[in-house]
Amino acid sequence: MDGRFAGIDIGSRTIELVVVDDAGTVVSSRQADTGFDPMAEAATLIDGTPYQHIMATGYGRGLFELSFEAPTVTEIKAHAIGARACFPEATAVLDIGGQDSKAIALTDDGRVKKFEMNDRCAAGTGKFLEVMARALGYAIDDFGREALAAAANIDISSMCTVFAESEVTSLIARGERREAIARGLHASVMRRAVGMLNRVAPAGDIVFSGGVARNPCMRAMLAEKLNRRILVPDDPQMVGALGAALLARA
């Protein structure tokens, strides 16, 4: 069997596993919910998956290193490598995950030039959108589509998740349209992402990774506000694990 190299991204919401061959081509990928015991979920995910080397990234990488005696890489570097493998022309990465968001500027040869990360507040993350979708009675998979269909958005003044949820409840009580509120909530997340991107990478094509990259409203709002190409991989949640796998192969 040719060489097999695995990357595992242990996030706050999900765990991704990617395996590449000697040429760096993806041969398999899997995903599972992180759950209350991430290492048990990780063990189940890699069970039966042949590989010579594995590298871990994500918030749970330190625990994986101890449990599986595997090397680790930061999320920033893993996403940079994975994004550039998907789109060699990209100059920046925007990753919006469940519990954090990050903007990364890339050098001409794909290394990390500069980055900014929000990991202290749920506002601007996938968790924020999940909470707000639930407050409005939307399934998370429908949230972005419904928001995109709104004719206009209602500005949301609260950036704290708790206060924003209370503000949404008040807007519903006033009879405001759900889709307009939803669009306003997406706009608040978009503004945070744009601020980070403009500070670290003010020009060039952007790879949008993480679960929120599946959201059509976020993609459209970012492209319109930035007037830049937003490049979304076929499976944007696998970008970090792909980067880790490619580094395991190096």
Q: Quick one: pLDDT band at residue 108, thresholds 50, 70, 90?
A: very high
> Within the chain, what is the greatest distance between any pair of CA atoms?
64
Please say if the pLDDT value at position 137 is more than 90: yes
pTM (2 d.p.): 0.93
Average pLDDT in the chain = 94
Proportion of the chain above pLDDT 90, given as a percent: 83
- At 1-52, the pLDDT tens digits run 589 999 999 998 999 999 999 999 999 999 999 999 999 999 999 999 999 9
Lowest mean pLDDT among 94-103, 119-128, 169-178, 195-204: 119-128
Please say if the pLDDT value at position 120 is more than 70: no
Proportion of the chain above pLDDT 70, given as a percent: 99
Domains of the chain as residue ranges with CATH:
1-87+235-250 (3.30.420.40), 90-232 (3.30.420.40)
- At 138-177, the pLDDT tens digits run 999 999 999 999 988 898 877 777 788 889 989 999 999 9
- At 166-194, the pLDDT tens digits run 899 899 999 999 999 999 999 999 999 99
Mean pLDDT score, 102-118: 95
> Residue 1's pLDDT is what?
55
Q: Which residue has the tokens 């929120």?
A: 212
Please say if the pLDDT value at position 244 is more than 60: yes
Mean pLDDT score, 66-75: 97
> Residue 162's pLDDT is what?
75
